[in-house]
Chain A
Amino acid sequence: MKVPWPLYLAWKQLFPSGKKVSFFSLLSIIGVALGVNVMIVVIAFMQGFQQKFRKDIINAQGHARVVPLKPYASWDKIPPRLRKIDNVVGVTPYLQAQLLLQSGNYHAIPFCMGLQPEDGDEVLPVDDFLKGGMLRLQAHDAEDVTPLPTMEMLEDDVVFLSSQTANRLGVRPSAVVQVYEANATLPESTEQSPVRVTRLDSYVESGEWELLFMPSEGSCVVRENVSGDEFVWEYEKGSLDLGFGYPVFEISQGADPFVAGDRFLFQVFKANKIEIFSPSMIDQAKADEMIPPREVRVGGIFEVPWQGFQMEALIGTMRFMADMRDQEGACDGFYLKFSGPVARNEVQLQKKCRELELVLEEDWAVVPWFVENAWFFELLKFEEYLMVLIMIPIGLVAAFAIAIALMTTVLRKIREIGLLIAMGGRRFSVGMVFCLQGFIIGGLGAVLGCGLALLFIRYREVIMTFIVERIAGSDGQAGVAQFYNFHSLEVPFPWESSESLSTFLSFALFAVLVSTVAGLLPALRATRLNPADSLRSE
């Protein structure tokens, strides 16, 4: 294929024969590439944060919320109706309240939400939110081996507290530590730590549990040293479950067999209790009626990744919440979870929500997550646009640099321009040589910039660790990670997401356009030159 001569000459002026690349070309291309790289990376990360927030919000409140528009008699027939509808994979009723919590002299008024233990995690992954308590041991002879609580442990007298609320009140759930004293078997004696506490409910009492392996194979003596209770456990038959109020022990098969005299020691700490007052109790107290507060145990500590969820919060059962509100059988609404395209596509979700409103005969409003949190995403979008606005000058600076360099080239090559016209070149084509130089610089810079951005996204963890460590030090890294967790951030490649593809294409096209426009002025200057004057010029 015959290359048009303006393109050929433009390419050759940037990449002359006998040289790999000219200094001007190299600098211009690198300048454009860095600009494109910065713009793509910043916007891709912004979109990554948006994606993360989207995921966190859906985790924290499902895809939609069903809220009543008028007083209702009974709500319990609605979840089964909703579950029968296509794409509905989870319905979780909830009841909210504002309650006063007290532990000793400490008080908190968290946002309180009641869920049903049997379907409370259908929409909200409560188990994923539950974390270890505050019993953080750092000792060479003891280790916190408390199993993480689960939604199953939620009962009418047990609540889960957000870590902020638990910290404010200074409370924690039950805990267990394994003690490595002189006579106890150290974990190094077996390849796997064989004895585990698999459940520690909120009713367990403080005490010291000792497991002593016997000469007879397959059994050990389990003794609680404070009360003196003693049991024989045939561990090969399964875990030791003595019922509520007792820790459940389990033995996982290790590489080394137990021998007579192997001894394991565990210390159990009971869960803290807190007192809870409802607004009606406070009103009654004001009227000098003596109403005792409701006493509940702390069953677990949770952390919801979505910061929009109340920082100070409590999760209890719906029945507990109804008791506290003095409204038996009440329900404030349902969290909904969808599957398939409805879950992925916001337009489809909006349509589905409308469809559900019709199914529920307009008595309930179905609010999708992005409508409820529109303010937040508008803020993020605004931030994204602001970033673009701030970064556009980067592209323009590169364009000015290219324009100046090309203009200098026109002046330097004034006699060559005259010659090209004398040899039969059209003025327009001569101008195109300079415009195409801008286009080539923009195109190559865009390709290089996209490549750099891909590398940055691919190796963001290594790069950010390197940068953050040098700025904030290794201690500060944890703090940075809390707010800007680049490691877990999902920044998709262009072939993985259309949004990412459009970001890459937009900035690449922007670079090409700006660079080409930068070549227009020198091109115009070249076309206006009088060839005879150009040939005479010194």
Chain B
Amino acid sequence: MEANGLSKSFRLGDGSIRVLADADIRLEEASSLSIQGSSGCGKTTLLNLLARLEKADAGTVSWDGRKMTASSSPSSRESVMRADFLGVVYQAYYLIPELNVLENILMAARLSSSVNRDSEDRARSLLSRMGVGDKAKQIPNKLSGGERQRVAIARALINKPRVLLADEPTGNLDERTGGQVMDLLMTACDEEKTGLILVTHNPIFAESADSRVFLKEGKLITDEEFEEIERKANDEEN
């Protein structure tokens, strides 16, 4: 997955706020990348732009070598492609309450039109790997937060996506559960050879990724650049 020159600003009253300015990002196949940044700096917007859920002001996004203009609306073909190429995990799980755990996972398979006789076996296998194999027939409302997020990860992986976008997946969980969930997510992505873009506030989780970038004032910067900026800021304060 690759994005070049992504820019995005939001209107606010008479003016506008620039969230992204000419941002470039590249994720190698089956690798992981974490994105850190302060609240409201535009991390979720960046993920939405990468997933083509939102139009950018400028730039391009490439999925599996297919280059798309980020400022245009996604086509129907892109929607179909998104189901196979991308998996998504959100902080708030977003499980469909009318479906049980297994049906929730298979729903993603239905959307990608890849549902077949093996899908249920794969869904059950993913649930087992996530440690919630016995919850297949449970209703989401009866599950704990950690269990729900494990189900959401299983759902994101059901179609064997090339890239998984995780937006603060442990944001609603306590530290211990969050750690467990993050371990499962990283392990599953490794095993499935799925690339991972992880948005998180937690530096430990961020460090566990193959590479790490920071989003600051609309720019994506590397670890070293970020540390340099932080040091300068501290010096100025002193």
Contact = CB atoms under 8 A, between A and B. Distances in A.
Interface of A: 2, 5, 8-9, 12-13, 16-18, 415-416, 418-428, 530-532, 535-536
Contacts of A421: 53, 79
A5 B114 CA distance: 12
18 contacts: A9-B107, A12-B98, A12-B103, A18-B139, A418-B53, A420-B111, A421-B79, A422-B82, A423-B83, A423-B108, A424-B81, A424-B84, A424-B86, A425-B83, A426-B79, A426-B80, A531-B54, A535-B90
A391 B80 CA distance: 45
Given A424-B79, A424-B82, A424-B83, A8 B92 contact: no
B100 A17 contact: yes
B100 A535 contact: no
Contacts of A422: 51, 53, 82, 86, 88
B111 A424 contact: yes
Interface string B97-140: 11110010001101110010000000000000000000001010
Given A2-B115, A424-B79, A419 B98 contact: no
Given A16-B99, A423-B82, A424-B111, 11 more contacts: A16-B139, A17-B99, A17-B137, A415-B92, A418-B94, A421-B79, A423-B155, A424-B81, A425-B111, A426-B80, A530-B54
Contacts of B51: 422
B76 interface: yes
B213 to A, nearest CB: 21
A420 B81 CA distance: 14
Contacts of B98: 12-13, 16-17
Contact of B96 (A416, A424, A530, A536): A416
B33 to A, nearest CB: 19
A8 B79 contact: no
Given A17-B139, A531-B53, A12 B99 contact: yes
Given A17-B103, A424-B79, A424-B82, A419 B94 contact: yes
A423 B88 contact: yes
Contacts of A530: 54
A425 B92 CA distance: 19
Nearest to A11: B98
A255 to B, nearest CB: 73
B107 to A, nearest CB: 7
Contacts of A428: 76
B197 to A, nearest CB: 14
A22 to B, nearest CB: 8
B172 interface: no
A532 B139 contact: no
Nearest to A5: B110
B107 A5 contact: yes
A275 B61 CA distance: 109
Given A16-B98, A17-B98, A425-B79, A5 B111 contact: yes
B44 interface: yes
A16 B98 CA distance: 4
A88 B100 CA distance: 71
Nearest to B93: A419
Cβ-closest 7 pairs across A and B? A424-B83, A16-B98, A532-B54, A5-B110, A419-B94, A532-B48, A17-B100
A7 to B, nearest CB: 10
Contacts of B92: 415
A427 B53 CA distance: 11
Contacts of A427: 79
Contacts of B108: 423-424
Contacts of A17: 98-100, 103, 137, 139
B44 A536 contact: yes
Given A17-B98, A422-B88, A535 B53 contact: yes
Contacts of B107: 5, 9, 423
Contacts of B96: 9, 12, 416, 419
A20 B92 CA distance: 27
Contacts of A532: 45, 48, 53-54
Contacts of B79: 421, 424-427
Contacts of B86: 422, 424
Which of A425, A530, A531 has its CB near the most chain B CB atoms (within 10 A)? Answer: A425
Contact of A16 (B81, B82, B83, B97): B97
Contacts of A536: 44
Interface string B163-190: 0000000000000000000000000000
Nearest to A14: B98
A416 B45 CA distance: 18
Nearest to B139: A18
A532 B137 CA distance: 30
A430 to B, nearest CB: 10
Nearest to A13: B98
Given A5-B107, A17-B99, A426 B76 contact: yes
A18 B102 CA distance: 12
B206 to A, nearest CB: 22
A223 B179 CA distance: 119
Nearest to A538: B92
Interface string B67-94: 0000000001001111110101010101
A420 B98 CA distance: 14
Contacts of B76: 426, 428
A426 B44 CA distance: 21
B159 to A, nearest CB: 8
A423 B88 CA distance: 7
A320 B29 CA distance: 112
Interface in B20-34: none
A426 B86 CA distance: 15
Nearest to A2: B115
Which of A2, A9, A424 has its CB near the most chain B CB atoms (within 10 A)? Answer: A424
Contacts of B44: 536
B110 A8 contact: yes
A5 B97 CA distance: 16
A328 to B, nearest CB: 89
A415 B139 CA distance: 18
B88 A18 contact: no
Nearest to A535: B90
A422 B79 CA distance: 8
Contact of B112 (A2, A8, A16, A424): A424
A436 to B, nearest CB: 14
A13 B96 CA distance: 9
Nearest to B108: A423
Contacts of B110: 5, 8
Contacts of B88: 419, 422-423
Contacts of B81: 424
A153 B139 CA distance: 84
Interface string B30-69: 0000000000000011001001011000000000000000
Which of A426, A428, A530, A536 has its CB near the most chain B CB atoms (within 10 A)? Answer: A426
Nearest to B79: A426
B173 to A, nearest CB: 18
A423 to B, nearest CB: 5
